């Protein structure tokens, strides 16, 4: 059994809407061998609803297109493209369609929902449908949400104004050689089981093969990337997705002339040390030991 999977956007099956105008396409789930990660693409028609419910897992989300309304006990929020947020375990919530187009979002569920336990979801009494307000990440009352814009990935545009709309200084860029990372959801936002962030590679960006003691997913949003999973090479484009299980040796290289950007998740949350085990380091040690007389 392989410890990774690749999902092509072109091969994605048609998913019928349920009677309430909602559907979810599972990208990674229990049937794939995942233990910590449920990842999917959701769609809600403008007149659609998802009734109030709770999960026994943590849910994070990122709005891909359109607008939706999220109802939680504290209030109702109008979410638009680029918004993201966290729904902790056991928090009642409901979704409503908005605008005049289908709202689409990616969701990360940690740990993976289990079919034999009703997918770890229970319906609860309806929540009040208040007049929705937009997310203001500078407001301490909405610290479970944030907003992402592609310009946030440009190290040369990290103005105070842009930092203000990215939740706080904690989301300032991590910049490596040709690689830029923007934190979205992590323990600072209240997550305990997973992380969600944006990754961008410059035209010369690449990461050598490595593995982790956790699972990762990748949803390509811009550009083209050459990805290697346990020695197999795959070229991924916009809309394609992949999953690497714990211990899967993987690496990436930008395959185009422009940037490549993807949404990435990790579950469980990475440990503070030894999150990365790079192949090159252990190859170096092996070679050094073999050279000894």
Instruction: Using the predicted structure, report yes or no on whether residue 251 has a pLDDT greater than 50.
Output: yes
Between CA 245 and CA 268 the distance in angstroms is 11
Taking alpha carbons only, the member of 152, 258, 161 closest to residue 199 is 152
Per-residue confidence at 141, pLDDT binned at 50, 70, 90?
Answer: confident
Q: How much is the average pLDDT of 163-190?
A: 73
Gap between the terminal Cα atoms of the chain: 40
Please give the pLDDT value at position 169: 44
Q: Which two tokens stand for residue 154?
A: 């440009």
Question: How far, in whole angstroms, is CA 237 from its chain's centroid?
Answer: 16
Taking alpha carbons only, the member of 262, 211, 215 closest to residue 236 is 262
Spatial neighbors of 171 by CB under 8 A, at least 6 apart, are: 146, 152, 163, 182, 183, 184
Instruction: Using the predicted structure, report yes or no on whether residue 235 has a pLDDT greater than 80.
Output: yes
Q: Which two tokens stand for residue 24?
A: 């979810």
Whole-prediction pTM = 0.93
Q: pLDDT, tens digit, for every residue of 256-283?
A: 999 999 999 999 999 989 999 999 999 9
Mean of the per-residue pLDDT values of the chain: 91
Of 16-20, 148-152, 217-221, where does mean pLDDT reach its minimum?
148-152
Instruction: Using the predicted structure, report yes or no on whether residue 166 has a pLDDT greater than 60.
Output: no
């Amino acid at each position: 059994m392989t410890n990774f999977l690749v999902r092509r956007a072109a091969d994605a099956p048609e998913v019928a809407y349920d009677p309430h105008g909602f559907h979810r396409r599972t990208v990674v789930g229990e049937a794939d061998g995942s233990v910590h990660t449920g990842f999917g693409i959701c769609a809600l028609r403008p007149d659609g609803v998802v009734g109030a419910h709770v999960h026994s897992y943590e849910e994070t989300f990122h709005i891909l297109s359109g607008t939706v309304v999220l109802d939680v006990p504290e209030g109702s929020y109008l979410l638009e493209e680029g918004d993201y947020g966290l729904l902790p375990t056991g928090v009642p919530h409901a979704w409503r369609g908005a605008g005049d187009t289908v709202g689409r979002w990616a969701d990360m569920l940690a740990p993976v929902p289990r079919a034999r336990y009703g997918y770890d979801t229970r319906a609860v009494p309806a929540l009040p449908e208040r007049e929705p307000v937009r997310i203001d990440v500078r407001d301490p009352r909405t610290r479970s949400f944030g907003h992402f814009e592609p310009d946030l990935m440009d190290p040369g545009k990290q103005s105070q104004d842009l930092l203000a709309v990215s939740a706080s200084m904690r989301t300032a860029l991590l910049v490596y050689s040709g690689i830029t990372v923007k934190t979205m959801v992590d323990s600072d936002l209240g997550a305990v089981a997973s992380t969600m962030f944006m990754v961008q590679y410059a035209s010369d960006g690449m990461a050598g093969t490595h593995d982790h003691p956790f699972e990762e997913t990748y949803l390509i949003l811009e550009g083209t990337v050459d990805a290697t999973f346990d020695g197999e090479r795959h070229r991924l484009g916009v809309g394609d997705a992949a999953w690497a299980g714990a211990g899967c040796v993987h690496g990436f290289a930008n395959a185009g002339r422009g940037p490549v950007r993807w949404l990435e998740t990790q579950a469980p949350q990475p440990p503070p040390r030894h999150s990365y085990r790079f192949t090159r380091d252990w190859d170096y040690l092996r070679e050094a030991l073999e050279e000894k007389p």
